[in-house]
Amino acid sequence: MKFARFVLRKVVAGLMTLFLAATLAFFIAKLSGDPTIQMLGLSATPEQVAELKAQLGFDRPVFVQYVDFIGDVSRGDLGTSLFSGDKNLDTILGRVWASTQLAILAVALGALIGIPVGVFAASREGRLADRVASLLSIVGQSVPVFWLGLILVLIFSLNLGWLPAGFMGDWRNLVLPVVTLATIPIARIARLTRSAMTNSLEDQYITASRARGLSSRRILFAHGLRNASLPVVTLIGLQIGTLLSGAITVETVFAWPGIGSLATQAVTNRDIPLVQALVVFGAVAFVIINTCVDLLYGVLDPRVREMR
Amino acid sequence: MTGVEHSTVLKVDHLTVTHMVRRNGGRRRPFNAVDDVSLDVSGGEIVGLVGESGSGKTTLSLAACGIGKMSGGAILAGGHDFSSIKGVTRRRAHCDVQMVFQDPMSSLDLRQRVGDGLDELRSIHPERTKRFTNEELMTRVGLTGDILGRLPSQISGGQAQRVSITRAMMLQPRLLVADEPTSGLDATVQAQILELFESFRRQENLAILFVSHNLAVVRRICDRAYVMKDGRIVESGGTKDLFERPQHDYTKRLIAAVPGKSANLAIIR
Amino acid sequence: MSAVGVSAIPPIRRSRKWNIFLIGAGVFILAVALLAPVLPLQDPSTQNLERALRPPVFSSGGSWDNVLGTDPLGRDYLSRLVFGTRLTVTIALSAVLLGALFGSLLGVIAGFKGGKVDAVISRITEAQLALPFILLGISVIVARGQSTSTLILVLALVGWAQYVRIIRAETLSLKERGFISSLRIGGLSDMRIIYRHVIPNVFGTILTLAALEIGTMILAESALSFLGLGVVEPDISWGAEMASGKDYLQMSWWLFTFPGIAISLTVLYVNLAGDALRSRYDLRKRMF
């Protein structure tokens, strides 16, 4: 029963955050300015502007627009694209899988490389290998991801011809975008693993020396890994969420047909409803993933269930 | 002490402090940290408030000083009802009721030099703090003037506690609430701090509410004492009587738990 | 949305030589940004179509006239890059300043006042953090139109929420120490306590966070400029250079490569400096 209550609390909290986020997104966009002029260009006549406004429903009082917006979103209606006339939600859902592919693979690669690197760095704490790993990790978070992507294309596609640059084909098309996108997860996961390990190892050494029954290094390590796994797993979950919306530039650069490049298209077309739909969708995805991560945390660490 | 006025400086009248607590993931339930407590302290008295941690004594102290929550009852401290005054009036009223905390280091701003802290209080209460200069304040508590230029990290625990006492006393309060003021200090320093309290009582007719779990100290310095358990007063009386002829079970157990008081064990039986 | 907190990071180096190097590098970057107009460089806006698309001096066909080559309009690339520093630094610093100010203030108020105020601020912050940042930025820029000030506003908007959580936690732990109660009893008003005692004590944390955020801002700005939403001609930004450079990737690779290197090095520097600050204020105790 306790767990059910915990789940309920988390889900309700998630819904509330979502509601607030949608409200925030709406008002930030509204307060930013009048997009109709942007969309039509400076040479637009007042009649054209008025017509566009009416079409978008922007001539109504703000509060009415807001209520409609919230109502639509709760029913799953994310509006209609100004450019293509299709329902936004359908367009987005049609491209979600492509982005999800990249995100999951990138995070998986991040964990695959990051965790061993982090563990290794922790085992060599303070020594050269540790410092190099930490430095590389910082470098990995300093490089603009889209730039790295194109550089990789330059080297591996255009110059060496090993891998294709474009999208959709077979698995080889996935390599470059995934590797590019994985850079930051690798760096972050490696760092977090390293510090989680060193922290828990510290505790282990203290208790072990007190107990005086010397466990072998191996056993200590295993314990350390187990304690460290919780925050690392949580981070991995979070990364998926941030990647899903943060892959815009990478998708654009590789012309990957996901929601990232959809966003760029929307920008080029000044397709306001679509942009707003993407913002809401991004928030929904983020909240869902976060809630799942919180629930997972609650499963793995029972203490969390007691807390607020 | 004939001829000296002994008016009531602190009057706590059926005070209740309720917190909403969530236990074991269940619903939030109200919990009385302080449950219908009444006590009083007069000028020139040192009154003890004895109890273990969790008994509600700190909650009571904070309420008495006007910065803690109150859910029921009334408190008149230094002539003020803090629950009904606000703003500047309230801030001035605080001068009459001051507090000394358990951990002196954590009640000082570690980034502020001692002298600057005193000057800050002066700037807020210029009238009340006119009486002594900073150097004189230091002498009064047995510290030297060079402490003024130091940061809290550069002075010892005992010195820091004296600084805290200075900060409280320079505002010329009528009531001083001391919450475990000597815990964590070594025996000689403890004795010095207690001496200070005694001298303030004599010189200023200061009323002191001395909150502690340390029975030996309470016995030594307090005229009267209240015993508190789970938010309620279970017994009270003159210290001598309290310790030699405890009535309530809890009081007896507390006394029995004091190491070295084997003579008292005979009473429990 | 509690989940995991910020990751703790071990200091890379703590030696004195390293600190001197960091300070020196910082001064260098600022100097380049400030002194760009008076340096012996060519005018970054002068077009010279005869000299278009010259490679850098170490490639075949390059010359010392244009050390890093020229762009499609014949403008000297080295000077364009150097001038690009100005806007990059200005935008990042302004955005961080704005975001840090706003976010830290909210964090302090939330931590200090507690109760309903805290609940409201925390909820709004969480909601803000749920919004995908580039998309949010896009929606604002598309509505407002492109300009440098819009860009700064957007970056600040995206960044302020980070401060609230951490500064709020700092403030709460300050409160726990008890000296705030003792200041209240001393008759200090809330405003005074916040201004004179809380803020100076959390300032180190704010500074460290802000330093690390500068890197994030630079990357975000370059991403937005790359998408065509950043600075407008004739202003020069490294991100925008990359946007135009990417069409020439195969033949005139330097157009795309050098701005990226510039960004990477700058952000790397900022991250290392932020790291040094972090180890100085020893935040490791609090973050996991």
Q: Supply the pLDDT for residue B3.
A: 45
Sole residue written with tokens 């350390």 = A224
pLDDT band at C233 (very low <50, low <70, confident <90, very high): confident
Show Cβ contacts of residue B97 under 8 Å, excluding neighbours closer than 6 positions: B10, B64, B65, B66, B77, B78, B80, B173, B174, B175, B177, C185
- Which tens digit of pLDDT belongs to each residue from C4-34? 333 344 555 567 788 888 888 888 888 888 8
Helix (H, G, I), strand (E, B) or coil at C281: coil
Name every chain A residue with its beta carbon within 8 A of the beta carbon of B25: 2, 5-6, 305-306
A262 in contact with C, Cβ within 8 Å: no
pLDDT band at B269 (very low <50, low <70, confident <90, very high): very low
pLDDT band at B171 (very low <50, low <70, confident <90, very high): very high
Angstroms from B30 CA to nearest CA on chain A: 16
| CA nearest to A28, candidates C157, B187, C5 | C157
- Whether residue B111 and residue C201 make contact (CB cut-off 8 A), yes or no, is yes
Nearest C-alpha in A relative to B24: A306
Element (H, E) at C92: helix C77-113
C positions 147-186 inside 8 Å of B (CB): 177-179, 181-186
pLDDT surpassing 70 at residue C135: yes
C178 vs A216 pLDDT, higher one: C178
Name every chain C residue with its beta carbon within 8 A of the beta carbon of B86: none
- Whether residue B94 and residue C186 make contact (CB cut-off 8 A), yes or no, is yes
- Phi, psi angles (nearest 5°) of residue B56: 100, 5
What is the pLDDT averaged over residues C112-119?
89
Show Cβ contacts of residue B40 under 8 Å, excluding neighbours closer than 6 positions: B8, B10, B11, B12
pLDDT surpassing 70 at residue B256: yes
C62, C54 contact by CB (below 8 A) = yes
Angstroms from C229 CA to nearest CA on chain B: 45
C281 in contact with B, Cβ within 8 Å: no
Residue C233: give the domain boundaries: 81-283
Interface test with A, best of C102, C124, C142 (most A CBs within 10 A): C142
Angstroms from B259 CA to nearest CA on chain C: 31
- Whether residue A28 and residue C157 make contact (CB cut-off 8 A), yes or no, is yes
C15 vs B264 pLDDT, higher one: C15
- Which tens digit of pLDDT belongs to each residue from B59-94? 999 999 988 888 888 899 988 888 888 888 888 899
Could you tell me the strand order of the sheet in which B224-229 lies?
B97-100, B175-179, B207-212, B46-50, B224-229, B232-238
Angstroms from C142 CA to nearest CA on chain A: 7
Question: Structurally, how many domains does chain C consist of?
Answer: 1
Q: Supply the pLDDT for residue B210.
A: 93
CA distance A301 to B70: 37
C86, C36 contact by CB (below 8 A) = yes
Beta strand B8-22 pairing with B28-42 = antiparallel
CB-CB: which of A158, A278, A304 is closest to C250? A158
**Across chain A, what does the average pLDDT equal?**
80
Angstroms from C175 CA to nearest CA on chain B: 10
pLDDT band at A221 (very low <50, low <70, confident <90, very high): low
What is the pLDDT averaged over residues A71-78?
81
Q: Supply the pLDDT for residue C14.
A: 63
- Which tens digit of pLDDT belongs to each residue from B1-58? 444 557 888 999 999 998 877 665 566 778 888 888 999 899 889 999 998 888 888 8
Q: Supply the pLDDT for residue A206.
A: 61
- Whether residue A263 and residue C135 make contact (CB cut-off 8 A), yes or no, is yes
Query: Taking the domains of chain B in order of start, what are their residue ranges?
Result: 8-268
State the count of interchain CB pairs (< 8 A) between A and B: 8
Angstroms from B232 CA to nearest CA on chain C: 24
Name every chain B residue with its beta carbon within 8 A of the beta carbon of C281: none
Is C128 a member of any domain?
Answer: yes
- Which tens digit of pLDDT belongs to each residue from A182-199? 988 898 888 888 888 887
Angle at B198 between CA B196 and CA B200, to 5 degrees: 70
- Which tens digit of pLDDT belongs to each residue from B181-229? 888 788 888 888 899 999 998 888 899 999 998 888 888 899 999 999 8
- Which tens digit of pLDDT belongs to each residue from C29-84? 888 888 877 777 777 777 777 777 777 777 777 777 777 777 777 788 888 888 88
C197 in contact with B, Cβ within 8 Å: yes
Angstroms from B240 CA to nearest CA on chain C: 33
Q: Which residues on neighbouring strands pair with residue B227, listed in sequence order?
A: B50, B235
- Whether residue C1 and residue A290 make contact (CB cut-off 8 A), yes or no, is yes
What is the pLDDT averaged over residues C212-228?
88
Name every chain B residue with its beta carbon within 8 A of the beta carbon of C182: 99, 101, 107-108, 164, 167
B112, B145 contact by CB (below 8 A) = no
User: Is 3.40.50.300 the CATH classification of the domain at B8-268?
Assistant: yes
Q: Which residues on neighbouring strands pair with residue B229, listed in sequence order?
A: B232
The alpha-helical segments, DSSP class H, found in C114-188 are: 115-130, 133-144, 148-177, 179-185
Q: Would you list the DSSP string of A15-60?
A: HHHHHHHHHHHHHHHHHH--HHHHHH-TT--HHHHHHHHHHHTTTS
Name every chain C residue with its beta carbon within 8 A of the beta carbon of B106: 177-179
Q: Supply the pLDDT for residue C93.
A: 92
- Whether residue C9 and residue A191 make contact (CB cut-off 8 A), yes or no, is yes
- Whether residue B106 and residue C178 make contact (CB cut-off 8 A), yes or no, is yes
Interface of A with B (CB under 8 A): 2, 5-6, 305-306, 308
- Whether residue B25 and residue A308 make contact (CB cut-off 8 A), yes or no, is no
B86 in contact with C, Cβ within 8 Å: no
Q: Supply the pLDDT for residue C115.
A: 85
pLDDT band at B161 (very low <50, low <70, confident <90, very high): very high
pLDDT surpassing 60 at residue C202: yes
CB-CB: which of C3, C12, C264 is closest to A135? C12
Q: Supply the pLDDT for residue C284.
A: 43
Q: Supply the pLDDT for residue B187.
A: 84
Segment among A170-179, A213-222, B138-147 with least mean pLDDT: A213-222
Sole residue written with tokens 């809401």 = A280
**CATH number of domain containing C202:** 1.10.3720.10
CA distance A146 to A164: 17
C43 vs A128 pLDDT, higher one: A128
Name every chain A residue with its beta carbon within 8 A of the beta carbon of C242: 144, 146-147
What is the pLDDT averaged over residues C164-177?
89
Give all domains of chain A, ordered by start, each with its CATH number. 95-270 (1.10.3720.10)
Compute the 3-state secondary structure of chain A and give helix, strand, coil in percent, each to the nearest 5. 80, 0, 20
What is the pLDDT averaged over residues A143-166?
78
Q: Is the dihedral of CA C67, C69, C74, C80 positive or negative?
A: negative
- Phi, psi angles (nearest 5°) of residue B112: -110, 130
Q: Supply the pLDDT for residue C4.
A: 33
Show Cβ contacts of residue B156 under 8 Å, excluding neighbours closer than 6 positions: none
All chains having 3 or more CB pairs closer than 8 angstroms to chain A: B, C
Sole residue written with tokens 């704005």 = C98
Show Cβ contacts of residue A254 under 8 Å, excluding neighbours closer than 6 positions: A149, A153, A165, A166, A167, A176, A177, A180
pLDDT surpassing 80 at residue A208: no
pLDDT band at A277 (very low <50, low <70, confident <90, very high): confident
Angle at C186 between CA C184 and CA C190, to 5 degrees: 35
- Which tens digit of pLDDT belongs to each residue from A130-151? 888 888 999 998 998 889 988 8
Q: Supply the pLDDT for residue C79.
A: 83
Q: Supply the pLDDT for residue B122.
A: 93
